[in-house]
Amino acid sequence: MRNSGQLPQKRASGLRFLWLTLALIAIDQFTKQWVIRVFDLYESVAVMPYLNLTYVRNFGAAFSFLSDQGGWQRWLFTILAITISVVLVIWLRRNPAGLWRQNLAFSLILAGAVGNVIDRLIYGYVIDFIDVYVNQWHWPAFNVADSAITIGAILMLLEAFFEPRQGAQS
């Protein structure tokens, strides 16, 4: 049967998940602005056992990796995050919307990457404030963007190891 002059139907892509990315970027930036306004640098407030809000600045990458370098790492991590973000948007565009687990993971990682790039471009560092601890041991402080990246990466790993593959025959 011919198309009879109608435009071809566009398939729904993973870009439908960008609403989540945008919402998480907004939440990330809102919480960071709140921390800047309410807290002094290194100020800490106990929220509950094992959780403080503590304002710190991260000049490095995850877990303050390379934070003690001369500033070149800011641009390295910015360029890396922008490159990863572009790749993720392309993948979301190419993915069918039905691959929701993968699209969800990509959207979370994209939100975290963009949220932290915004900080690096504006301030030269990333604003962290979530301080999880047990006794005297503290996990490195993190933020909403870092949480999104971590959850997205875990979802990608779970999908890679536990999702059945199409076309895999025994």
Is 168's pLDDT higher than 50? no
Q: Which regions of the chain does DSSP assign to beta strands (E)?
A: 44-48, 51-58, 126-134, 137-138
Question: pLDDT digit string (tens) for 120-155?
Answer: 999 999 999 999 999 999 999 999 999 999 999 999
More confident residue, 56 or 69: 56
| Residues catalogued as catalytic | 128, 146
Report helix angle 100-123 to 18-38, nearest 10.
Answer: 30
More confident residue, 107 or 77: 107
pLDDT at position 30 is: 98
Question: pLDDT digit string (tens) for 14-39?
Answer: 899 999 999 999 999 999 999 999 99
pLDDT range class, residue 4, cuts 50, 70, 90:
low
Q: What are the backbone angles phi and psi of residue 11, rounded to the nearest 5°?
A: -80, 150
| Residue 77: both structure tokens together | 């991590």
Which region, left, alpha or beta, applies to residue 161 given φ > 0 means left and ψ of -120 to 50 means alpha? Answer: alpha
